[in-house]
Amino acid sequence: MTTKAVIHPVILCGGSGTRLWPLSRQQFPKQFVPLIQGKSLLSLTAERLKPLLAAPETDRLMLITAAEHRFLAREAMTEVGLTCNLLLEPSGRNTAPAILAAALALEKRAGPEALMLVVPADNFIPDAQAFARSVRAGVEKAQAGWWVIAGVLPSYPATGYGYIALDSDSAQDAMAAGGNPHGAYPIKAFVEKPSLERAQSMLLEGGHFWNAGIFLVKAAVAIDSARKHCPGMLEQVSQACEESLTGAQTSRPRAETSPLKAAAAEADDLSLGPSFSNAQSISIDYAVLEKHDKVAMVPFTGAWSDVGSWTSVAEISCNPDEQGNRRIGSAYTLCDSHDNFVYAPQRPVVTVGVNDLLIVDTPDALLVAHKSSVEQVKDAVAALDRLGVSQARLHRRVVRPWGAYDAIDAGDRFLVKRITVNPGSALSLQMHHHRAEHWIVVKGTAKVTRGEEIFLLTENQSTYIPLGVKHRLENPGKVPLEMIEVQSGSYLDEDDIVRFSDQYGRA
């Protein structure tokens, strides 16, 4: 067997990441947020996969993500210079249905022997070469019909991770291999999220590794093992793939690329059908791997984090000062404040005489939590959601396929937005029943359609869009268009939009 086999990377890009609220929200999950040195975890993951691609300029990754996040996913790939095909989920159903959908799609596209590398979008692994070595070490076993998992050598007795157990001889070999693994070792057992006492015992005992949720497997093996262990789920996912629509039916070319180029990039995108939402929501570990007899592990001894909490973000993103404080942005830890993490990218945040706090400041929500309660952030977000607090799900700044807008002020019968339109992009041709709009260009050039008129506006120029008039905003220039929009009327919510044409395929 050769280690130069063609590897087809698949990135699992679902999930809402509520543990990193208020920066990560359902509308803009953590994998898309620029968390590490101005880059998103998804972008870093894609960059890490480049050494495994035979031809990074042309080889396509497969991304599995929510339908509502497809533009965010494609934008992240554009930023790192990679192309991708998207598999769009109508609803999140955990890793087992997602991986099976990817296996079915890959089998159809590249054949049953296609080697699928499944990686989460939200892992942080800074050493791309060490990661590539571990993946290649598992190729031979995967080609022989095994599921191969990456196991991370634990550095502390974590209770939030699943563990992989090897027998003593395999464990010694795996640990001796260090950063240069030479193969995959059959797994003795899985241990799911242990108690602290059990985790400490396993760390002292050795031979146990964190389950990183990274899998290497042939498409046919993934499908056959699902047929054996969870046939009902496989049937639902297969039906969803049969119901799926291609990219040409679900999306439209980006304005800044040629229609032919954009259509080619999206031709193989699939929007999974409604049967996908009926599949059991379960991890691939529970559904298949813990029942399967041919599962092996490749050791990974490099730095690894699933960035599952603000504690992880703090450790990754900045070093502590002499008082143990980790600070991002305009954070000031004064008067014997120590061992805090303060995230303050936009305005000064000052602590006075406090310790062991996590403070995360955003334009529309502030989180203050004790470090010992970091795992309860997701519970707090759920409580806010039940109370109808919009910030539990939505950001003030909203990303759209054409750019973004920030609702900077609001009151009775008015709303003020700062709108950014990407070069070459355009909003839909639309009208509103309940509001009029004033547009003021701050930067760049705007092409405005207002009823039968089409005209250009430049910096410091403005126009008025009366209620009930068809209109469109476009950026024909080479730099981002920035403008202020003042809405006035009896009803200002986003659902007061009637679209007549839209290049992004939105209703």
Give the pLDDT of residue 397.
86
Helices (H) and strands (E) in the chain, counts: 14, 29
CB 26, CB 51: distance < 8 Å: no
Give the amino acid at 220.
A
Q: Using alpha carbons, select from 218, 227, 265, 228 the residue that is nearest to residue 246.
A: 265
Query: Any idea which residue has 């040195």 for tokens?
Result: 37
Give the pLDDT of residue 257.
40
Phi, psi of 355 (to 5 degrees): -145, 155
Give the pLDDT of residue 3.
46
3-class state of residue 238 by DSSP = helix
* Alpha helices in 50-186, H assignment, sequence order: 70-79, 95-110, 128-137, 139-143, 168-177
Residue 330 to residue 246: CA distance in whole angstroms:
46
Query: Any idea which residue has 């499944």 for tokens?
Result: 118
Helix (H) or strand (E) holding 201: helix 196-205
Burial class (CB in 10 A: 0-12, 13-18, 19+), 298: buried
What one-character DSSP code corresponds to residue 398?
A: E
DSSP-based helix, strand, coil % in the chain, nearest 5: 30, 35, 35
Give the pLDDT of residue 176.
65
Spatial neighbors of 75 by CB under 8 A, at least 6 apart, are none
Give the pLDDT of residue 281.
94
Residue 158 to residue 107: CA distance in whole angstroms:
37
pTM: 0.86
Residue 101 to residue 110: CA distance in whole angstroms:
14
b/e per residue, 236-269, with b = 16+ CB within 10 A?
bbbbbbeebeebeebbbbbbeeeeeebeebbebb
Residue 61 to residue 7: CA distance in whole angstroms:
10
Give the pLDDT of residue 384.
96
Residue ranges for the chain with pLDDT beneath 70? 1-3, 57, 174-179, 245-268, 507
Residue 61 to residue 56: CA distance in whole angstroms:
9
What one-character DSSP code corresponds to residue 392?
A: G
